[in-house]
Amino acid sequence: MTRRSYHNGLKTTVLLASMWAILLLIGAVIAQGTGRAWWIWVFAGIGLVQTGIAYWNSASIALRSMNAYAVTEAERPDLYRIVRELSERAGQPMPSLWIAPTQTPNAFATGRDPQHAAVCCTEGILELLNERELRGVLGHELMHVYNRDILTSSVAAAMGGIITSIAQFLMFFGAGNRRDNNGGVGVLAAIAMSLLAPIAATLIQFSISRTREFDADEDGAQLTSDPLALASALRKLDHMTERRPMQPTPANQNVAAMMIANPFRGQGMRALFSTHPPMDQRIERLEKIAGY
């Protein structure tokens, strides 16, 4: 299989560098306000620990969040046949296969690298799609693994979390520590930073996810040689998710960005903060690949 190039390394570097810039900006405000520069090292250390935990345990955390259960080849021979064929075609190891007990149709891949990967389908998607469409979805998810998207998403999520935590601390500090104009940080600056920094971090994290979805669509279409199958699957997923959305919880909200389709119903401002690009744009791109 010939791998497509989307300059993913450059995109990821720019986006993650932006998150680090936000982190350093918050650190500079804290250092100025407290007069103690070591606070930024404390929060930076926490961020590194969070990143490490997210990286090494991304698969188990995501699967546990969805109450997923592993399936054997005897239980789902169709699923194993498709994934084995696509894995061999890509020259990559076979991931473990899991099923999440929810009727909301969706799928996601997780794991720190192709050797420790897992692909999970919901019960709903297995009932909704035919074999050709399911093959398109699985090709998409496998390309997330082969493109090392999970590492990027885990790092971005950890960074976004630590930036939000630091910003919240800054608001608390700013509200309780007013200083004169010659030094420190005022309450208004602290509150502004605490509100804007998490929003900026979230938007950057979502940008990473949206970019990766487009790339996995195109790479998955190349892997399966059937872009219209994935386009058909996305149409069904979009329609059925509106009728049968997943109920947001703290656990599944962390996994939502990894899924092939946004599992939550969202309109207006909620759509702006969606982790996925608009479905019609994804379908249009796939149809263009097929020559339509």
| Residue-level pLDDT at 240 | 93
Estimate the crossing angle of helix 227-243 against helix 279-289, to 10 degrees: 160
Q: Are 87 and 142 in contact (CB under 8 A)?
A: yes
| Residue-level pLDDT at 2 | 52
Name the strand (E) or helix (H) holding 110: strand 107-110
Whole-number Å distance between alpha carbons of 95 and 118: 5
Candidates 75, 88, 131, 141; catalytic one: 141
| Residue-level pLDDT at 218 | 94
| Residue-level pLDDT at 177 | 55
Q: Which are the contacts of 63, defined by CB distance < 8 A and separation ≥ 6? A: 98, 110, 118, 120
What dihedral angle (degrees, nearest 10) is formed by the CA atoms of 139, 144, 147, 148? -150
| Residue-level pLDDT at 26 | 72
| Residue-level pLDDT at 120 | 96
Query: In degrees, to the nearest 5, what angle opens at C-alpha 81 toward C-alphas 62 and 85?
Result: 90
Whole-number Å distance between alpha carbons of 57 and 162: 18
| Residue-level pLDDT at 249 | 79
C-alpha neighbours within 13 Å on the C-beta side of residue 231: 20
| Residue-level pLDDT at 17 | 73
Catalytic residue status for 141: yes
Sign, Cα dihedral of 69, 147, 19, 262: negative
Q: Along the 292 residues of the chain, how does pLDDT read in single tens digits?
A: 555 555 555 666 676 677 777 777 777 777 776 677 776 677 667 666 766 776 777 788 889 889 999 999 999 999 999 999 999 999 999 999 999 999 999 999 988 888 989 999 999 999 999 999 999 999 999 999 888 877 676 666 666 667 777 777 666 665 555 444 444 445 656 666 677 777 776 776 676 677 788 989 999 999 999 999 999 999 999 999 888 888 887 667 768 878 899 888 754 444 545 668 889 999 999 999 998 7
| Residue-level pLDDT at 103 | 93
